[in-house]
Amino acid sequence: MYENTDALAVVRALRPDEPITLLRPHAAARAARFFVEKFQGKSLYAVKANPSPALLETLWEAGITHYDVASLGEVRLVHKFLPKAKLCFMHPVKSERAIAQAYHNHNVRTFSLDSREELDKIVRATDGATDLELCVRIRVSSEHAKLSLASKFGADPSEVADLLVATRQVADSLGICFHVGSQAMTPAAYAEAMEHVRAAIVKASVTVDIVDVGGGFPSVYPGMEPPALDGYFDVIHDCFEDLPISYSAELWCEPGRALCAEYASLLVKVEKRRGNELFINDGAYGSLFDAAHIGWRFPVALQRSETSIGTQMAEFSFYGPTCDDMDHMTGPFILPDDVQAGDYIEVGMLGAYGCAMRTEFNGFGETETLVVSDQPMATLYGWAPANDEGVRATRSQSSKI
Residue 126, exposed/middle/buried by CB under 10 A (0-12, 13-18, 19+)? buried
**CA end-to-end span of the chain:** 19
Of 88, 239, 323, 355, which is the active-site residue?
Answer: 323
CA distance 116 to 381: 41
Q: Dihedral of CA 160/165/170/173: which sign?
A: positive
Q: Is 239 a catalytic residue?
A: no
Please say whether the beta carbons of 49 and 41 come within 8 A: no
Please say whether the beta carbons of 122 and 128 come within 8 A: no
Please say whether the beta carbons of 216 and 184 come within 8 A: yes
- C-alpha distances in angstroms, 179 versus 158, 159, 192, 255? 18, 17, 12, 11
- C-alpha distances in angstroms, 72 versus 69, 123, 316, 364, 387? 8, 17, 41, 28, 34
> Which residues have a Cβ under 8 Å from the Cβ of 59 and sit 6 or more positions away?
28, 29, 32, 45, 259
- Maximum pairwise Cα distance, the chain: 71
- C-alpha distances in angstroms, 90 versus 45, 50, 112? 11, 16, 5
Catalytic residues: 323
